[in-house]
Amino acid sequence: MKKYLYLFVFAVMIGLQADAQKPNIEQALDLFPYQHVSDIQGTLQNMENWKKSDWKKVFVLLQNDSLKLKATYAIAAYTHKASLNKELYTKWYAMIYKQSKKKNTPYAATFLKSQINLLSPEETVHELLSQLSPKKENLEAAPKPMNNAMKLLALQDQMQTVIGNNGNVIEKKRILNNASHIPSLGAFMFIGNFLQDESVQKDAALMVTRLALNNENIKGPMIRALLEKAMPLIHGEDSAILVSKLKSHLLKMPYDYGFVNLFNGKDLTGWKGLVSNPIARSKMSDSALQAAQQKANESIKKDWIVKDGLLIFTGHGDNLATEKKYGDIEMYVDWKITEKGDAGIYLRGSPQVQIWDTSRREVGAEVGSGGLYNNTKYQSKPLLVADNKIGEWNTFHIIMKGEKVTVYLNGILVTDNVILENYWDRKIPIFSKEQIELQAHGTYVAYRNIYVRELPSEAPVLLSEAEQKEGFVSLFDGTNMDQWQGNLAGYILKDGAIEVNPQAKGGGNLYTKEEYDNFIYRFEFQLTPGGNNGIGLHAPLEGDAAYVGMEIQVLDNEADMYKNLQQYQYHGSVYGIMPAKRGYLKPVGEWNQEEIILSGTKIKVTLNGTVINEGDIKEAIKNGTMDHKEHPGLSRTTGHIGFLGHGDVVRFKNMRIKKLS
């Protein structure tokens, strides 16, 4: 009898132990809303062993208005964990996808869709689901994988939901982290907006820094401003390496041909009302155009409004145009329309990259948005339909070079290098430069994230007619360095300019192949912060040109690091010999124009239209040089013109010269 009693007690104990090992779902979920990462690690590990019946309880809680937040935080955390583990990823995707097809509350349906979007695979969903179920209906019902453009749109939608629900920090960080894996300008700008959010700004600073360091196409004044804001937020073990890399990156980042923000999210700065068309405007007098423009600007204040960071056309009025004219460009813009919507993007003042509701079959809208609608000779329809549903955000990536336009809609190529016809006069090509316009076509449309950069011209820079008549010849037309010699590895041809390459022997010296005695030399230069270079005159190919020839200083002498300079070291000085006036350099990043005239022993340096140095070198050294050093090169009467690099990024372009007798 005792034997059976022992067996009974043993069985009860085993059963109790088994019950104790069963997960208490609600207790486990209680940990997640408190956002203590260390507390939930063990629970997340245990969740890998949960059965379908356990997860069913979680999904039931997601439908309960009073308990849904616990389930929301837990599911979101597990989604992040699963995204880092291929085996978990496959099983978890299949589970939440199956749950999303069941009857859910609106909240649960929206949330589950967001999790599916985050887990959209790089390989096809079909392949993953086929590992779990060979049923054909499962494969056909699976959503298509999303490209990076679509993922970013989804993440922005998710962030709006999170912010609307009091901005859970863990959710914000999760969304930003997912965005940081998208190597695009849009992802950079999206994350950069959170540098002002104290709850996530340190994470955002690391993310934008890494995105910029790994993608040279993320450049421009708005990028520079965000990176400068991010730098002081980088702390801890990442700071030593990243901050150093970021400082170097900012020094090298080009000031030209980078992205600018056409819409600040607050007002219509940079935009104006539409006055007629480009041909009609060109025939108007200045006074008539000014009056018409003033009237148009007043009108747009009621037609185009800014609300919740969006640029919205109310449905009444005329096009909105940029104040600036653009030629070759790369442009990004997000847009959203309502039912029966119709809009478009005018390039160079001409219609248009089409936007419309694809259900409007009566006007041919079933072909989709992104085509060059007003073309008659060249392709007008998009290659395929890539529009999102009405009421959802779409994104254009538009590239225009010369007459040809390429359009990506939601990351999908829909217009491939097609000539944009001149709608206003089809007998002439599209204008070389004109305003960008957002079309007003009688229906609501919203825009956001409008970024544009001008593209460098591939055509050679030609001398002006006046300079040709004066006898100037070009030393550099922006397309090749054929007339230069020396440390060619230390200088690179980039965006129509010669740029010092610090990675190759610190820049070094680059010389003209020809020697010159008396001349007028004109050029343009662009400094970076603390930039240091020089113009060698009468220089031989060997030795320190500042002494064996002579050097005209090229220097950001307003930088704090140069506050203790000697007078003969200022920009425009004949180094060590004749000081130049200060105060005539343009701000760092802007292009300066300089002219050097050397005739015998007389020299004259003009910077941005002002003479900053003029005199007779022979007279200047009659009582010795200012730096008390030997300058044997001052006795030379001919030699090469050169750039004398000191390892700093400085850019030069439009070099031309006229020989003097």
Is residue 309 classed as helix, strand or coil in its secondary structure? coil
**Helices 201-213, 169-179: crossing angle, 10 deg rounding:** 0
Residues 418 and 524 in one domain: no
Nearest to 580, CA basis, from 547, 540, 534: 534
User: Taking 80 as the threshold, does the pLDDT of residue 36 lie above it?
Assistant: no
HSE at residue 358, side-chain half, CA atoms within 13 A, is 17
Other Cβ atoms within 10 Å of 470 Cβ, number: 12
Of 454, 480, 507, which marks where a domain is finished? 454
Of residues 475 and 133, more confidence is placed in 475
What are the DSSP E strand ranges found in 200-301? Answer: 260-261, 271-273
Alpha carbon of residue 215 to chain centroid? 9
pLDDT bin (cut points 50, 70, 90) of residue 519 is: very high
Of 420, 454, 488, which marks where a domain is finished? 454
Of residues 41 and 435, more confidence is placed in 435
**pLDDT, tens digit (0-9, with 9 covering 90-100), for 225-237:** 999 999 999 987 7
For 141-187, give the DSSP string.
HSPPPP-HHHHHHHHHHHHHHHHHTT--HHHHHHHHHHHTTS-SHHH
**Helices 68-83, 169-179: crossing angle, 10 deg rounding:** 30
Residues 211 and 323 in one domain: no
Q: Is residue 199 part of a domain?
A: yes
Distance CA 430, CA 416 (A): 17
Contacts of 540 (CB under 8 A, 6+ apart): 548, 549, 633, 636, 639, 640
Distance CA 471, CA 517 (A): 16
User: Taking 60 as the threshold, does the pLDDT of residue 592 lie above it?
Assistant: yes
Backbone angles phi, psi at 200, to 5 degrees: -135, 5
Residues 649 and 609 in one domain: yes
Of 190, 220, 252, which marks where a domain is finished? 252
Q: Is residue 164 part of a domain?
A: yes
Residues 471 and 527 in one domain: yes
Distance CA 487, CA 497 (A): 16
Residues 428 and 364 in one domain: yes
Nearest to 151, CA basis, from 116, 105, 125, 127: 116
Percent residues over pLDDT 90 in the chain: 70
Buried b (16+ CB within 10 A) or exposed e, 616-628: ebeebbeeebbee
Distance CA 322, CA 560 (A): 37
Nearest to 509, CA basis, from 474, 527, 484: 484
CA distances from 386 to 119, 124, 140, 151, 507 (A): 21, 18, 19, 14, 47
For residue 608, what pLDDT is reported? 98
List the domain range (segments joined by +) for residue 214.
Answer: 19-252
For residue 66, what pLDDT is reported? 73
Q: Is residue 220 part of a domain?
A: yes
Distance CA 396, CA 246 (A): 30
User: Taking 60 as the threshold, does the pLDDT of residue 318 lie above it?
Assistant: yes
pLDDT bin (cut points 50, 70, 90) of residue 505 is: low
Q: Does residue 466 contact residue 453 with C-beta atoms inside 8 Å?
A: no
Q: Is residue 248 part of a domain?
A: yes
User: Taking 80 as the threshold, does the pLDDT of residue 485 lie above it?
Assistant: yes
How many separate domains does the chain show? 3
Other Cβ atoms within 10 Å of 124 Cβ, number: 14
Percent residues over pLDDT 70 in the chain: 90
Residues 275 and 375 in one domain: yes
Mean pLDDT throughout 54-65? Answer: 87
Alpha carbon of residue 485 to chain centroid? 35
Q: Does residue 607 contact residue 592 with C-beta atoms inside 8 Å?
A: yes
Nearest to 175, CA basis, from 99, 255, 80: 80
**In 266-390, which ranges are continuous DSSP H helix?**
278-282, 286-303
For 98-111, give the DSSP string.
HHHTS---HHHHHH
Distance CA 190, CA 157 (A): 11
Q: Is residue 444 part of a domain?
A: yes
Q: Does residue 332 contact residue 428 with C-beta atoms inside 8 Å?
A: no
Give every strand in the sheet of 484-486, ordered side by side. 484-486, 509-512, 640-644, 532-539, 550-555
pLDDT bin (cut points 50, 70, 90) of residue 49 is: confident
Q: Is residue 645 part of a domain?
A: yes
DSSP for residue 586: P
Residues 436 and 493 in one domain: no
Residues 538 and 512 in one domain: yes
Q: Is residue 260 part of a domain?
A: no
Query: Six-digit token pair at 561?
Result: 């690091």
User: Taking 50 as the threshold, does the pLDDT of residue 122 lie above it?
Assistant: no
DSSP for residue 463: P
Task: Tell me the CATH number at 598.
Answer: 2.60.120.560
Distance CA 516, CA 513 (A): 10
Task: Tell me the CATH number at 48.
Answer: 1.25.40
DSSP for residue 381: S
Contacts of 578 (CB under 8 A, 6+ apart): 568, 603, 613, 615, 617, 620, 626
Query: Six-digit token pair at 66?
Result: 């009073």
Backbone angles phi, psi at 371, to 5 degrees: -85, 165
**pLDDT, tens digit (0-9, with 9 covering 90-100), for 304-315:** 999 999 999 988
Residues 181 and 213 in one domain: yes
Of residues 23 and 371, more confidence is placed in 371
Residues 196 and 94 in one domain: yes
DSSP for residue 316: S
Alpha carbon of residue 171 to chain centroid? 25
User: Taking 80 as the threshold, does the pLDDT of residue 345 lie above it?
Assistant: yes
Residues 239 and 320 in one domain: no
**pLDDT, tens digit (0-9, with 9 covering 90-100), for 321-339:** 999 999 999 999 999 999 9
When the pLDDT of each residue in the chain is averaged and rounded to a whole number, the result is 88
User: Taking 60 as the threshold, does the pLDDT of residue 21 lie above it?
Assistant: no
Of residues 251 and 136, more confidence is placed in 251
Query: Six-digit token pair at 99?
Result: 């749950």
DSSP for residue 195: G
Is residue 619 classed as helix, strand or coil in its secondary structure? helix
**pLDDT, tens digit (0-9, with 9 covering 90-100), for 194-238:** 999 999 999 999 999 999 999 989 999 999 999 999 999 998 777
- Quickly tell me which residue has 């980078």 as its tokens: 258
Q: Is residue 132 part of a domain?
A: yes
Sign for the CA dihedral angle at 574, 576, 579, 584 comes to positive
pLDDT bin (cut points 50, 70, 90) of residue 240 is: confident
**pLDDT, tens digit (0-9, with 9 covering 90-100), for 138-166:** 433 444 567 999 999 999 999 999 998 88
pTM of the complete model? 0.76
pLDDT bin (cut points 50, 70, 90) of residue 80 is: confident
Q: Does residue 652 contact residue 525 with C-beta atoms inside 8 Å?
A: yes
Query: Six-digit token pair at 356?
Result: 């419309």
Residues 488 and 404 in one domain: no
Alpha carbon of residue 492 to chain centroid? 23
Is residue 524 classed as helix, strand or coil in its secondary structure? strand
